[in-house]
Amino acid sequence: MKAVLFDLDGTLIDTAADFIRIIQNMCREENRAVVDAALIRTQVSEGARAMVKLVYPELEVDDPIFLAHRQRFLDLYGADIAVDTDLFEGMYPLLESLEAKHIPWGIVTNKPRDLSEALLKALNLTERCAVLVCPEDVSKTKPDPEPMYLAAKQLNIAPSEIIYVGDHPRDIDAGRNANMYTILAAYGYLPLPYKDDLTAWHADCIVNNVSELDQLLYTMTSQ
């Protein structure tokens, strides 16, 4: 294998703490019951709409009031994007290991580009990341393979020689649809409806922590 691509939230970077901070503060400001951190964590990969819905379950997602709350959430997040956010434990040496072997790594995410770029900048990863594909770059997002093909094209590496790591069924579907080797990051923000049967995702491999991922990537990129 010649390259490794990661999903962003819940796979490469542990962003949940900042989302939890903002959502729980919104609850307190509105005098609403504070949403449990564990529940917020399961919704991170579903995006801003799903997280804000935890605070305002009675509002329809197309309600102008809901949309205003969603925009406020995004504004708060963008203003303080990496207060408690960092790479998952063990991910720094994993990336260093890939770089030492001249294996390019990159990101394919459904997170908006402005937020993705701000996050990478805050963690000093911008120059190290070989490719970043966001929703604005494609006509169809994951689980469609289009963003995977675009990343492969930008790397100039065949999709079949690329590994994709993700923590959501759409990640695995996108990777499989592009004929990439898929790894399910079971340490990530597994969505509630899918977390009880990970084998049903049909990933090529499942890892339970970053250490297992590191060992697997070392082996696969050494062949």
Tell whether 103 and 207 lie within a shared domain. yes
Q: Is the dihedral of CA 142, 199, 18, 88 positive or negative?
A: negative
Catalytic residue check, 9 = yes
Predicted confidence (pLDDT) per residue in 131-156, tens digit: 999 999 999 999 999 999 999 999 99
User: Which residues constitute the domain of residue 26?
Assistant: 16-79
Predicted confidence (pLDDT) per residue in 177-216, tens digit: 999 999 999 999 999 899 999 999 999 999 999 999 999 9
Tell whether 103 and 211 lie within a shared domain. yes
CATH number, residue 207: 3.40.50.1000
Catalytic residue selected from 7, 18, 167, 173: 7
> For the chain, how many structural domains are there in total?
2
Catalytic residue selected from 9, 18, 171, 214: 9
Tell whether 179 and 119 lie within a shared domain. yes
Separation between Cα atoms, residue 5 and residue 155, nearest integer Å: 10
Catalytic residue check, 7 = yes
Separation between Cα atoms, residue 79 and residue 58, nearest integer Å: 27
pTM: 0.94
